Structure 1
Amino acid sequence: MSYPARTIRRVKYSVLRPLALASLIANAALIVTGAAVRLTGSGLGCPTWPKCTDDSYTTTSEMGVHGMIEFGNRLLTFVLVALAFATFFAALLNRPRRKSLIVLSVVVALGIPGQGIVGGITVLTNLNPWVVGIHFLLSIALIAGCYALWRRIDEGDAKPIPLVPAPIRHLAWITASVSLAVITVGVIVTGSGPHAGDQGAKRNGLDPATISQVHADLVFLLIGLSVALWFALRAINAPAHTIRAAGVLILVEFGQGIIGFVQYFTHLPVLLVAAHMLGAAITWTATLAVLWSLRTRPQQEAPNPTETLTPYESVTA
């Protein structure tokens, strides 16, 4: 008796996908709440860690609004942990079980407590600007992990198939590297500026004008590379979604660049600085979207039914 060829039906991850997206959004939100802590001078609103005070894990009325802002930022970590572990269990319980999703969910779930520890070190070091910078960059890494998990849900587990030639893929990776460099130098710029998170916190000692110029130069390079990538994709008639992803990245970069220049020439008003920090997360996400659009990952080919049927299935088929 012959068996019809089995096709691998895509499982509807009705719970997993929204959880992964929520985790991605929440990690971006952590950057915004972290910005609120710094820009309101609340970095030492809870002057110690892991407790908020020597006698209490929570803020007290005597600590005022700064304590509330800092403690609120700490509470968001618990939301991130809850989302990460819920995502892990959703990946674990879904069928067919996929190792790639489980691994990514574990990486994110472990990264969030690590991020919390680094946040504690920033408090214990009185907001050392280099430690604060690492704290921010860990959020960027977590966003990358969450984005990878979210996108992998709708992909198969076969070997990735490139959609564009190797030189263009190389250009895209160079663009992504410069995007990360822009964010990193932006962190250093912040560490040299006035928004330390507390009046007594030290700065990194670099000249703000000089490091800001380096940051601006990298931004121009990033926009130039992104525009070149967009034209290259159009020249080879790349898939529409790939060209669109590159176009969105350019628009995001222009918006982020405008905010950056306005905030610099208006002497860093707190609302624009907060918008610029959120823009960094959005720019990084748009960069990841471009990289993801350059390849496809189909489902693995269905195995031979005679090799996968159990004796019970073989008899009853």
Structure 2
Amino acid sequence: MWFRKLGLVTIVSIYLLVLAGGIVRSTGSGMGCPDWPKCFGMWVPPTEVSQLPPNYQEIYAEKLHGEVEFNSVKTWIEYVNRLVGAFTGIVVFGVFVASFSYRKRDKKLIFLSFLSVILIGANAALGKFVVDSFLKPGVVTAHMLLAILVVFVLLYSIARAWSEVIETEKVTNKPTLNKILLLLLILSTAQVLIGTQVREAIDKIIANPIFGYDRSTWIEQLGLSFYIHRSFSLVLLGLHVYLIIQLKKNIQAEGILYKFFKALVLLVIVEIVSGAVMAYFSVPAYIQPVHLTLAIVALGLQFVILLLLNSEKVFQKETA
């Protein structure tokens, strides 16, 4: 029981970490703390410039790449992001410890939980490299891809544990539904990565001293990746609607699977709306992290539905 409950806390904390990371990115706070794991050489960062050494600009000029003026808001946004990351790491390790209660019933959960610890540690190390490389585009994308992998591993572990106490409704024509779901999962992951490329293009625009701070010009300066990302969202919406129509035809009773399917379609619609708000209202900073988090939540929900749809095969227990 503790494993299942702690697992849910872990998933929530992972999504909060994605949201916090999105806020850091949208507010340009990635270099709010120029060093890692400390912030301006302190475990608790300063709130005003008087708490820093008089020559702090010289000390951190190279790491800040010219952004040498202390900004307490950006510093604390980045610091809170790190705190959420640290809490997530602790909870993930707690899940690993709790997994030993399954050593007689399902040894695979111990392995999966340990893998989660390794992956979350690797992503933390990659996060440090993101800071050291001054938000290098390729590194940021890798950081996001690894975060998605962490979500999938944790969701598989938790769904495997919860499969003991929940029942899914009977569904016919599973091969067709599986194919559509798998296609959606692949295309949605690609869509998230394309979105990351769009964000990297925005970072380049921001770096331009002429246009960087005029949000109204950002969209018109974006290249092909933005138009692919925007148009592709409608394709994904169509596939999700088609999927739920197929499920409706092949379901015998409306249970947890059908509820998850409806939630997924609603989530995709809200995500598209948030994307439209960014495109037509000069990329508001408060919408960017919401848009990203919704995308990762939708990916996780697709993955869980795929697991539950095939629960009889996926969650077979091998205790020997």
Please say if residues 164 and 238 of structure 1, whose CA atoms lie closer than 8 Å, have aligned partners that are also in contact.
no
1:18-37 equivalence runs, <5 A: 18-37=5-24
Output one character per residue of 1:38-58: Cα deviation in whole Å (capped at 9) or x when no partner.
Answer: 2222111111234323x4444
2:181 to 163, 172, 178: 172
TM-score (norm 2): 0.79
Match of 1:278 among 288, 293, 298: 293
C-alpha separation in 1, matches of 2:206 and 2:116: 27
Query: Over residues 81-107 of structure 1, what are the superposed CA-to-partner deviations in whole Å (9 max), with x where a residue is unaligned?
Result: 210111111111346342121112111
Question: Aligned partners of 1:196 and 1:58: how far apart in 2?
Answer: 32
Higher mean C-alpha displacement, 136-145 vs 16-25: 136-145
From 240, 248, 252, the counterpart of 2:254: 240
The 5 A counterparts of 1:60-71 are: 60-61=46-47, 62=49, 63=70, 64-71=72-79
Provide the alpha-carbon RMSD of the alignment: 3.0
| Matched residue SS, 1:254 | helix
How far is 1:154 from its partner?
2.0
Higher helix share: 2
Higher mean displacement: 262-271 or 41-50: 41-50
Contact 1:129/1:196 (<8 A) preserved: no
Instruction: Report the Cα offset of residue 214 of structure 1.
Output: 0.4
1:222 aligns with 2:236: yes
Residue 196 to residue 101, structure 1, CA distance change in 2 (3 Å): farther
Residue of structure 2 in register with 1:38 after alignment: 25
Letter aligned with residue 285 of structure 1: G
Aligned residues: 282
TM-score (norm 1): 0.79
Confirm whether residue 130 of structure 1 aligns to residue 117 of structure 2: no
In the alignment, does 2:96 pair up with 1:109? no
Q: Counterpart amino acid of 1:78?
A: A
Distance 1:239 1:100 in 2: 31
Q: 1:193 pairs with 171, 185, 202, which one?
A: 202
Aligned-pair identity in percent equals 24
Query: Equivalent residue of 1:145, what SS?
Result: helix
**In the alignment, what sits opposite 1:10?**
none
The gaps in structure 1 that reach 5 residues or longer are 1-12, 309-317
Task: Report how far residue 166 of structure 1 moved.
Answer: 1.6
Residue in structure 1 matched with residue 57 of structure 2 by the alignment? none
> 4+ residue runs of structure 1 moved beyond 4 angstroms?
194-200, 298-303
Instruction: Output aligned runs, 1:88-107, within 5 Å.
Output: 88-94=96-102, 96-107=104-115
Amino acid paired to 1:220? L
Return the offset for 1:119. Answer: 0.8
Aligned mates of 1:199, 1:58 — CA distance in 2: 33
Asked if the contact 1:127–1:197 (Cα under 8 Å) also holds between the matched residues in 2, the reply is no
**C-alpha contact 1:42 1:66 (8 A) present in aligned 2:** yes
